[in-house]
Amino acid sequence: MLARAIYDTGIRLYRAGVGLAAMGGKKKASLWLDGRQHWRSRMEQAGMGRHPLIWVHAASLGEFEQGRPVLEALRRQYPGYKILLTFFSPSGYEVRKDYPGADYIYYLPLDTRRNARDFISIARPALALFIKYEFWYHFLTELYTRKIPVLLVSGIFRENQLFFKGYGGMFRRLLQQLTHIFVQNESSLRLLQGIGIRTASISGDTRFDRVAALLKEQAALPLVAQLAGNSHLLVAGSTWPEDEQLLASWWRQTTRPGMKMIIAPHEIHESHIRQVQALFPEAVTYSALKAGAPPADVLIIDNIGMLTTLYRYAYVAYVGGGFGKDGIHNLLEPAVYSKPVIIGPEYSKYFEAVELVALKGALVVSGLTNLEDYMQRLLNEPAFYEETASIAGNYVKDNKGATEKILQYIQENRFLNRE
């Protein structure tokens, strides 16, 4: 009871903190609050609960893309069910609120006992899927109490997480309540087995299935294609200030005949875009290019949702985040196109990065010197380029199949009825 009281207090404090941030003018905080207004009446007015329903929850945009292959496979195989998609973060909801693959798209209400009870009473899901993490105590407890099957998709666990601490009993019990946990790798499975979880298995990571689907999509960016032309294009995605400063130093110091660069920052608010422009005074933003500005050798992306398509045009990809404590972003998105991938040194939390580095399909840089060295080799040694690119593409190809395993489990256990 004490653990739950502490948890509930933490939830209330989090809500208060978001409120203060919104009052201070933080746009994401305002979106977080406004998007949760009147959710009960909006769900009821939408007619939710009148049809069989599958609920898929993702924390943010990355988790949505990770779970998307499963969601879309369920949509195809069980057309009699409506799909409810929820997000915790504005960076997921605001980008995908018009996603056509779901019938209802909402922010997940704050995790209180009353909210969980009312939400599930209105939605009445036949099956719930949580992507990667998001262990909300009251929602998961309410689903368990009502005997609604809950699957964790593409779970990943580490020894330093709360579940594996002496004081993590409340959250260990949550894991025991899940119907099944599909994990990405052997180490996650061993950790779960070590605390007595027997309802877990290795499926692999559904992100491989998602990025593999990108190869079949015909999305095009004519302005980017025109910019790229026959040049050697470096696409730097999900960059943070440390990445941008490194790239700016390299750009200023290197000789680069036929070289162009696209920078897609992780944060695209106006003040940060101005900071990137200060590092690259000759650059043009994508919105300005669309409005008719002349092209430049450096293009700054100032919107969300283009990155996966941008990598298609790359000669070399740089994936940001590797100089911050949270580590790199998704390196599978460029790897699927058989592009050499450059990352910073903070990648150990991400098993796919560890594996791809070991295979020599991803190249790790710690500063300007080895960034320059790798770029020179990729530009001037065709055999090195082709080998690195081929390893990256084959790595994605060899690790597909998680979605099929999850769908097979759902079918075998007859959680849903075919119509």
Residue at token pair 């009870």: 117
Catalytic residue among 44, 63, 282, 355: 63
For 164, 179, 191, 350, the CA distances from 158, given in Å and listed in that order, are 8, 21, 8, 11
User: Across the strands, what pairs with 127?
Assistant: 54
Q: Please give the single-letter amino acid code of residue 289.
A: L
- With 0-12 / 13-18 / 19 or more C-beta atoms within 10 angstroms meaning exposed / middle / buried, residue 277 is middle
State yes or no: is 242 an active-site residue.
no
Q: Please give the single-letter amino acid code of residue 389.
A: A
- Which of 179, 211, 157 lies closest to 399 in space, CA to CA? 211
3-state class (DSSP) for residue 173: helix
Phi, psi of 235 (to 5 degrees): -105, 115
Chain-centroid distance, C-alpha 70: 14
Strands 82-87 and 53-58: parallel
Please give the positions annotated as active site: 63
